[in-house]
């Protein structure tokens, strides 16, 4: 089973990335799990220019680090996206990745090709943190991730959303939160009847 994990925080250490690592640890308890993890803020990924260059091929014309992620986004059995909430949504680094999935949209809807043939139950986990305790603070992040997962044929698993966590490394002092992320990782790779 192949997992692609993307961390969207620019901070080191990052609370959302700490939780992502806990989820990866939980998922890795299952034999045969292979994880490829990236800190997106360390990559050179330009925003989508809406140029239409992918409309006839399903291939983005911008040559940057996103080209490394495309085959992984298309081929992973599970996705983990981790991002703090910046001004009501995911970080600009993760949003750039999502926007560049326009090439996947073109492949699916304009060219009528599946992103990659597979059993229909690819699953993805969204992990997010925010400093406030406003109940609706994660709505923007979820609103952004749902259409991307839809295009990629990924079912959204119950997310790990942590309010009131703002200090760097604070996640390390919350064992119950780390365990919740580990359990989410275990559930992400649990057999679902499709052989995946």
> pLDDT for 113-151, tens place per residue?
876 655 557 999 999 999 999 989 999 999 999 999 999
Catalogue all structural domains in the chain, each as residue range(s) with its CATH number.
2-188 (3.40.50.360)
Give the per-residue pLDDT at 169. 79
Give the per-residue pLDDT at 117. 52
Give the per-residue pLDDT at 115. 66
3-state secondary structure of 102: helix
* Residue 194 reports pLDDT greater than 70: no
* Percent with pLDDT over 70 in the chain: 95
Rounding to the nearest 10 degrees, give the CA dihedral for residues 151, 3, 144, 131.
170
Give the per-residue pLDDT at 119. 56
Report how far residue 76's alpha carbon sits from residue 34's, in angstroms, rounded to the nearest whole number: 10
* Residue 192 reports pLDDT greater than 90: no
Considering the entire predicted model, what is its pTM? 0.93
| Structure-token pair, residue 52 | 């239409």
Of 64-78, 80-94, 111-125, 147-161, the one with minimum mean pLDDT is 111-125
Tens of pLDDT along 12-56?
889 999 999 999 999 999 999 999 999 999 999 999 999 999 999
């Amino acid at each position: 089973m192949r997992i692609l994990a993307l961390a969207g925080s620019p901070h080191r250490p990052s609370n959302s990335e700490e939780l992502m690592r806990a989820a990866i640890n939980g998922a890795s308890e299952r034999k045969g799990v292979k994880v490829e993890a990236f800190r997106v803020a360390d990559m050179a990924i330009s925003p989508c220019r809406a140029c239409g260059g992918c409309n006839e091929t399903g291939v983005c014309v911008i040559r940057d680090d996103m080209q490394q992620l495309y085959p992984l986004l298309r081929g992973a059995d599970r996705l983990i996206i981790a991002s703090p909430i910046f001004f009501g949504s995911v970080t600009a680094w993760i949003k750039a990745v999502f926007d560049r999935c326009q090439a996947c949209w073109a492949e699916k809807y304009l060219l009528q090709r599946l992103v990659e043939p597979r059993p229909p139950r690819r699953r993805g986990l969204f992990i997010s943190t925010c400093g406030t305790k406003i109940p609706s603070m994660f709505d923007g992040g979820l609103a952004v991730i749902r259409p991307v997962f839809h295009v990629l044929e990924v079912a959204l698993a119950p997310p790990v959303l942590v309010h009131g966590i703002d200090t760097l490394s604070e996640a390390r002092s919350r064992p119950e939160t780390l365990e919740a992320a580990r359990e989410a990782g275990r559930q992400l790779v649990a057999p679902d009847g499709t052989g995946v």
